[in-house]
Amino acid sequence: MASESTIRQPFDFAAEQLSTEQRGLWEQAFRRLIRNRLAFAAGLLLGVLVILSLGAEFLPAIQRHDPIIQDYGITNQGPSMTHWLGTDILGRDMWARLLQGTLFSLKIGLGTQVIILLIGISVGMSAALAGHKSDSILMWLTDLAYAFPDLLAIIMMRQMLFGRDWPIIGKGDPQIPGLPSALLATILAISFVSWVTVARLVRGQMLSIKEQDYVLAARSIGASPWRVVRVHMLPNTLSTVIVAVTFGIPLAIFAEAALSFIGLGVPPPDASLGSLISDGYDNLYSNNLLVVWPAIMVAVLMLSFTFLGDGLRDALDPRTRK
Amino acid sequence: MLAYAIRRVLLIIPLIWAVATITFFLMHGIEGGPFDSDKPLSETARARLNERYDLDGSLPSQYGNYLWNLAHGDLGISVSNDRDITDIIRERLPISAQLGICAFLFACTFGLTLGAVAAINQNGVGDYIGVFLATAGAALPSFVLAPLLVITFALKLNWFDVLGWELWNYHKMVLPTISLGLLPAAFIARISRASMLDILRQDYIRTARSKGLTEVGVVVRHAVKNALIPVLTVLGPIFAGLVTGSFIVERAFAIPGLGTTFVNSVLIRDYGLIMGVTLFFAILIAVMNLIVDLLYAVADPRIRL
Amino acid sequence: MTKPIWRMLLGILAVFGVMAIAVACGDDDDDDTGAATNTAAPGASPTADAKPSGTITIRTIQFETWDPHFSDFNQDIEHFFMVWRGLYNLDAANLPQPAMADGKPTVSADGKTYTVKVQAGLKWSDGQPLDANDFVLGVQRTCNPDNAGHYQYILTAIVGCDAYYAAGKETPAKKDELLKAVGVRAVDATTIEFKLTDPQPTFPILLALWPTFPAPKHLLKTVDAAWPGPLQNVYNGPFKPSEYTEKDHMTMVPNPNYTQKEKAKIEKLVLRYIDDAAVALNAYRAGEIDATLVPSTQLDAVKKDAVLSKELVSYAAVRTTGLEPNLKDPLMAKLEVRLALSQATDRKTLNDVVLKGANIPSTTWMPPARSGTNPTAFDAAIGFDVAKAKENMKKAGYENGAGFPKLVLLQTDTATNKAIGEFLQAEWKKHLGITIELEYTDSKTRSSRFNSGQFQLVLGGWGEDYPDPENWILGLYETGGSINKQSCSMKAIDDLIAKAKYNTNDEQRRQQYRDVEKLVVENICGQGPMWQVGFHAVVKPHIKGMIENKKPDDKQIPGDLYVELWTTSKK
């Protein structure tokens, strides 16, 4: 990226040695990110939420009450000193449930994005760079994945994963620590149909970047194709990809919520933000706080990821320095 | 480009075959059949029903039959109500399509405007308001958003109807359109903001500015068209997704569209209907994506297909 | 360019603002809606026998099939009774009263031959004559193997019906032969004769149900001909469809050729198809529909609402829910474990807390409307009693839950079921020291596992098909019963059922079924009853005839089996 910048924007970067360029780029990016107050605040808030929800798993002091302990004497209470966010229809503490739900939803959001990025970037990149035939075939594959009946897939996967012993992924449930089978099925099923958008975004950006002057220039001075991709093309597709990913996290959380709504969400007594909202929706008229808390949490997560994502993309783009 | 288009169109045939094959074996692989109801049926009744709907043969022979009929354009009948699947799709599609197109137009207008405003005022008030609106709009899943809109605008304010969809009747159009279009609007806003920012920093924009063009002139004449490319990528799938209907919005307003039809067909294991709707989606998506790819080449002459 | 954008942004902000405020004020101004919708003056009572007037719009669910000789879905049956009628119709006390028939049936001395006179001069809605042959064709269609009716089994007593139904793979000639052997024939245009294999005391009831409804011989060339759709078919009930959009709505108007005493009293009946009951309730609040079911999740909100609470009607339905253990499972085969689980279940708290008081906690299987038994009759045997539950666990060898093997409760994934599962899991942990696993699947997966016996414990139940105790027992609890999926098998039960099945002494027969119930429940032989399901609906005050004619076996709306009695004062 620096070589491109030196050609086109000589004042942005001093001529640095190639070996230190990358670190320089990331360092600069990090510094710029910190300077963007909103993005920094969003990042900080996210950090706090992650620590809180992770901590709640292990430290009773954070979650204060057991999220699955029921007390029928105190159902549907409003916020109080003992129950900060009130209690639900079974008299469970909403603060503890909310933290548990946040952790589950973060797992879903991040888990899907990891898979989506892995598949999406490799397919999108190969499609853009590997010539017409493979482009057609890969785009054909994305069409196939998009048309893939995800509902059938998720019912199928739940069936295969729940309580079954599998030779590779282990016995019992959860087969992977921290990922109960229904959660794993949800993550896989959501990723299977969502990587397509990222793949097509990457392909579109790459096709357009491929013909940009600086890439042509880099190629003409004899840079290896892999280097051109790694140094010039990939970073320049990052901005759109980051936006797609930061949006993808809440989108995945919603997708899971919609699955809970149809009856294919995480199994109780565990909770995700989606299942909390979907259960709370049933009690919208009698205790609307049950929807309000998880909805606020989703909104906060979404805003934080948005601002952090925008900050990140601004920081990574050398041309946006203010 | 013509050769490219023809190649892609020809690839739709193996796509249909692949989707049909995967769906066929997937749906027969999952537990539960159309005749597994809460109230169990006797074995005789089950045998009769399997005969009536030609589900009594071996799976490969059923698969062969299905492909044979499909090649003749026959999608078969629905196990749940004996109707021709082609008829069901033909009846439900226009409703979902009307709603989907309205939601799509709403999402595009609202999303692109927000995105452009946010990008022009980067880190300014307009940006924050834009991003906030885009996020707030998408912070509630549609199955909560829809009832909230109903409670507010239909029950408290009495502006709109609770039930149904009717083209050109705004009482029945506004709420479903917003419920369906808000999330894609937010997505479009985010993507278009990012892409606008990219473009606004390109050299030719600087050149345009230095020529003395007004900011509006710069944006309209140079930035918008180029910023549309990444947006176009997502518009294809978004359009396909909206037009094929949404289970949740259709359910929330009791609209008889394709979205509820598909989800229900899966939940009740209506094999023929699952196949029919999935194949229809596959074709629609393939065509949409092809159009988007061709539009790419039009929007950006440097892209060589 | 920028100015309109700002104006638009402001507009959108305003919309969000209004929404936020209105939602925030949530509960305070609920009265608004009520005031807006409750404009109809109640006082004006409708005059009897006047020209039909007014429109009633009700919420129901899209029917699956329009064919009464095929279907057994609740909402389908509701539709059937609006447009067709059988030889008899059940009155409020569930006694068959002549409808298309002329007087009561005559029964032969051996109880195996029923002769029914059909009223002369009956017509279908298209004006074509309706006679004994149409009724014969109806019964033949239900027994027809190619039509594959779900409900053929209730006509199993008719000679040859089973044999014909079983002949799915026979040649057409053989099928024809078997059809001729089915024990129903038109002696002449107004006389039908039914031949039964055994004397069946409940047979007249079956002549009031949809599997014996007439089939128009002038539209159907053969017994297996396709059943015409709603707008192509002909009708002999109080209403007939005039307009129909699948999944959206059906409009019905009075059938001019309906000759019974009580004719339709409204001009138009609109059935609005709404899947989600919560959506339907909002439409009711907005005045877009006049009657709907109340989902149990909104029951407390409706009871608190000043207007809706007055329009709410609640009564017991003929549906029972219970814990259904699979007796083939080694753990569930232990009587003490089954008893312990039932005795560790606080049905009252479950109903009050989780189910918002929607149902009637019970330990009986048959609803009181059928058996006359008090719902708490078996509390001493299987009701909530922690001490007894612990004692039973100890007897089974799992004192305080020690060494208790894996137990999975299988349920359909709904918000209510989740809460029930969580409740049971927590209660059983508290009282018995065991941790059960909860598995939630979609409804078809659950049914498939249940039907194939691949389960340990499910939450299940029964909804009545026809109003007689035998419907709660036959096929369900005898060894090898066709729908005995829990594998209940006790000789005492088998013996009692064999005695009761063809017993023509009504009181004795009913007592025998009550004895079977006692055996089933006390041994939790595949059934540990938990509650009788409550039926809750709201009906606008301008409607008369719905609530007045409500029955425990109503389908979707109070009084929907007597649609001809509905009136409205709203013009």
Helix or strand holding residue A84 (H, E): none
* DSSP structure class, residue B257: -
Nearest to C303 by CA among C30, C26, C23, C25: C30
Nearest to A259 by CA among C354, C355, B267: B267
B: neighbours with 3+ CB pairs under 8 Å? A, C
Residue A305: per-residue pLDDT: 85
Nearest to B249 by CA among B172, B168, B157: B172
Q: Per-residue pLDDT tens for C389-430?
A: 999 999 999 999 999 999 999 998 888 898 899 999 999 999
Would you list the DSSP string of C203-226?
HHHHTTSGGGS---TTT-SSTTSP
- Alpha-carbon gap, residue C239 to A74, rounded angstroms: 51
The structural domains of chain A, with segments of one domain joined by +, span 44-320
- Alpha-carbon gap, residue A175 to A181, rounded angstroms: 7
What is residue C536's three-state secondary structure? strand
Q: Which of A224-228, B243-247, C432-436 has the lowest mean pLDDT?
A: A224-228
- Alpha-carbon gap, residue A289 to B150, rounded angstroms: 18
- In B, minimum Cα distance to C248 occurs at B256
Please tell me the total number of residues recorded for chain A in this structure.
322
What is residue C523's three-state secondary structure? coil
Q: Is any Cβ of chain B less than 8 angstroms from the Cβ of C286?
A: yes
Contact residues, chain A, for C425 at CB < 8 Å: 269
Residue C5: per-residue pLDDT: 42
Residue C26 has pLDDT above 50, yes or no: no
* pLDDT classification of A164: cutoffs 50, 70, 90: low
Question: Which has the higher per-residue pLDDT, A303 or A173?
Answer: A303
CB C536 within 8 A of CB C296: yes
Say if B33 falls within a structural domain.
no
Distance from CA of A157 to the nearest CA of C (A): 11
Structure-token pair, residue B29: 């692989």
- Alpha-carbon gap, residue C117 to C133, rounded angstroms: 12
Residue A230: per-residue pLDDT: 77
Residue A11: per-residue pLDDT: 36
Question: Which has the higher per-residue pLDDT, C373 or C105?
Answer: C105
Q: Per-residue pLDDT tens for A175-205?
A: 566 677 778 888 888 888 788 888 888 888 8
C: neighbours with 3+ CB pairs under 8 Å? A, B
Mean pLDDT for the stretch of residues A272-300: 84
Query: In B, residues 162-201, which contact C (CB 8 Å cutoff)?
Result: 162-164
Residue C266: per-residue pLDDT: 95
Residue B137 has pLDDT above 80, yes or no: no
Distance from CA of B9 to the nearest CA of A (A): 10
Distance from CA of B201 to the nearest CA of C (A): 20
- Alpha-carbon gap, residue C88 to C2, rounded angstroms: 74
Contact residues, chain B, for A147 at CB < 8 Å: 15, 19, 278, 281-282, 285-286
Q: Is any Cβ of chain B less than 8 angstroms from the Cβ of C283?
A: yes
- Alpha-carbon gap, residue B211 to B189, rounded angstroms: 29
Residues 6+ positions from C485 with CB-CB distance below 8 Å: B40, C326, C450, C451, C453
Structural domain harbouring B251: 85-304
Distance of CA B219 to the CA centre of its chain: 30
Q: Cβ separation of C279 and B254 shorter than 8 Å?
A: yes
Say if B269 falls within a structural domain.
yes
CB B44 within 8 A of CB C165: yes
Would you list the DSSP string of C335-393?
HHHHHHHHHT--HHHIIIIISTT-SEE-S-SS-HHHH---TTTTHHHHSS-HHHHHHHH
Question: Which has the higher per-residue pLDDT, C188 or A255?
Answer: C188
How does the average pLDDT of chain C come out, rounded? 89
- In B, minimum Cα distance to C151 occurs at B45
Residue C3 has pLDDT above 70, yes or no: no
What is residue A319's three-state secondary structure? helix
Query: In B, residues 225-244, which contact A (CB 8 Å cutoff)?
Result: 229-230, 232-234, 236-237, 240
- ipTM of the complex in this document: 0.88
Residue A9: per-residue pLDDT: 37
Residues 6+ positions from C415 with CB-CB distance below 8 Å: A278, A279, A281, A282, C297
Say if B125 falls within a structural domain.
yes
Q: Per-residue pLDDT tens for B179-190?
A: 999 888 988 888
**Pairing of β C249-254 and β C239-245:** antiparallel
- Alpha-carbon gap, residue B144 to C556, rounded angstroms: 26
Q: Per-residue pLDDT tens for B238-287?
A: 888 888 888 889 999 999 999 899 888 988 999 999 999 999 888 888 88
Residue A3 has pLDDT above 50, yes or no: no
- Alpha-carbon gap, residue C393 to C310, rounded angstroms: 47
What is the CATH topology of the domain spanning A44-320?
MetI-like fold (1.10.3720)
Q: Is any Cβ of chain C less than 8 angstroms from the Cβ of B121?
A: no
Number of separate domains in chain B: 1
* DSSP structure class, residue A231: I
Q: Per-residue pLDDT tens for C49-70?
A: 568 899 999 999 999 999 999 9
User: Nearest Cβ partner of B31 from A8, A159, A299?
Assistant: A159
By CB atoms closer than 10 A (0-12, 13-18, 19+), residue A61 is: exposed
Mean pLDDT for the stretch of residues C364-375: 90
- Alpha-carbon gap, residue C410 to A158, rounded angstroms: 14
Q: Please, where are the H alpha helices in C462-543?
A: 491-501, 506-522
Mean pLDDT for the stretch of residues B135-152: 80
What is residue C74's three-state secondary structure? helix
Nearest to C517 by CA among C531, C534, C496, C537: C496
- Alpha-carbon gap, residue B281 to B97, rounded angstroms: 12
Mean pLDDT for the stretch of residues A61-89: 85
Contact residues, chain C, for B251 at CB < 8 Å: 275-276, 279
CA B118, B123, B124, B129 torsion: positive or negative?
A: positive
- In C, minimum Cα distance to B164 occurs at C248
Q: Per-residue pLDDT tens for C459-484?
A: 999 999 889 999 999 999 999 888 89
User: Nearest Cβ partner of C5 from B113, B150, B164?
Assistant: B113
Nearest to A297 by CA among C292, C108, B140: B140
Contact residues, chain C, for A155 at CB < 8 Å: 441-442, 445
Q: Is any Cβ of chain C less than 8 angstroms from the Cβ of A17?
A: no
Q: Cβ separation of C422 and A68 shorter than 8 Å?
A: yes
A: neighbours with 3+ CB pairs under 8 Å? B, C
Residue A300: per-residue pLDDT: 86
Residue C44 has pLDDT above 70, yes or no: no
Mean pLDDT for the stretch of residues C383-389: 95
What is residue C463's three-state secondary structure? strand
C423-446 per-residue burial string, b: 16 or more CB within 10 A, e: under 16: bbbbbbeebbebebbbbbbbbbbb
Mean pLDDT for the stretch of residues A249-278: 81
- Alpha-carbon gap, residue C341 to C428, rounded angstroms: 7
Kindly report whether the global pTM for this prediction surpasses the value 0.90.
no
CB C267 within 8 A of CB C254: yes
Q: Per-residue pLDDT tens for B14-23?
A: 989 999 998 9
Distance from CA of C445 to the nearest CA of B (A): 5
Contact residues, chain A, for B262 at CB < 8 Å: 151
User: Nearest Cβ partner of B23 from A152, A208, A317?
Assistant: A152
Looking up tokens 């140079």, which residue turns up?
Answer: B222
Residue A175: per-residue pLDDT: 57
Q: Per-residue pLDDT tens for C145-159?
A: 999 988 898 899 999
Say if B24 falls within a structural domain.
no
Residue C336 has pLDDT above 90, yes or no: yes
Contact residues, chain B, for A136 at CB < 8 Å: 4, 7-8, 11
Looking up tokens 């990226």, which residue turns up?
Answer: A1
Nearest to C267 by CA among C122, C563, C508, C53: C53
Helix or strand holding residue C539 (H, E): strand C528-539
As a whole-number percent, the residues of chain B with pLDDT over 70 amount to 97
Question: Which has the higher per-residue pLDDT, A154 or B26?
Answer: B26
Residue C28 has pLDDT above 70, yes or no: no
Mean pLDDT for the stretch of residues C229-258: 95
How many CB atoms sit inside 10 A of residue A27's CB? 11
Most confident stretch, B70-79, C307-316, C500-509: C307-316
Q: Is any Cβ of chain A less than 8 angstroms from the Cβ of B194?
A: yes
Q: Cβ separation of A263 and C412 shorter than 8 Å?
A: yes
CA-based R_g, chain C, Å: 26
Q: Cβ separation of A148 and B11 shorter than 8 Å?
A: no
* DSSP structure class, residue C471: G
Residue A304 has pLDDT above 50, yes or no: yes
Residue A319: per-residue pLDDT: 58
Residues 6+ positions from A281 with CB-CB distance below 8 Å: A261, A291, B143, B144, B147, C415
Q: Cβ separation of C301 and A267 shorter than 8 Å?
A: no
How many CB atoms sit inside 10 A of residue C287's CB? 17
Residue A320: per-residue pLDDT: 52
By CB atoms closer than 10 A (0-12, 13-18, 19+), residue B34 is: buried
| CA distance to A208, A212, A309, per residue, from A314 (Å) | 20, 20, 8
Structure-token pair, residue A94: 């909403």
**Pairing of β C567-568 and β C543-544:** antiparallel
Residue A289 has pLDDT above 60, yes or no: yes
Q: Is any Cβ of chain A less than 8 angstroms from the Cβ of B106?
A: no
Structure-token pair, residue A96: 């503890």
Distance from CA of A295 to the nearest CA of B (A): 6
Most confident stretch, A135-139, B284-288, C281-285: C281-285
Give the CA diameter of chain C: 94
Q: Is any Cβ of chain B less than 8 angstroms from the Cβ of A292?
A: no
**Within 13 Å and on the Cβ side, how many CA atoms surround B70?**
21
Q: Cβ separation of B81 and C448 shorter than 8 Å?
A: no
- The CATH number of the domain holding residue B284 is 1.10.3720.10
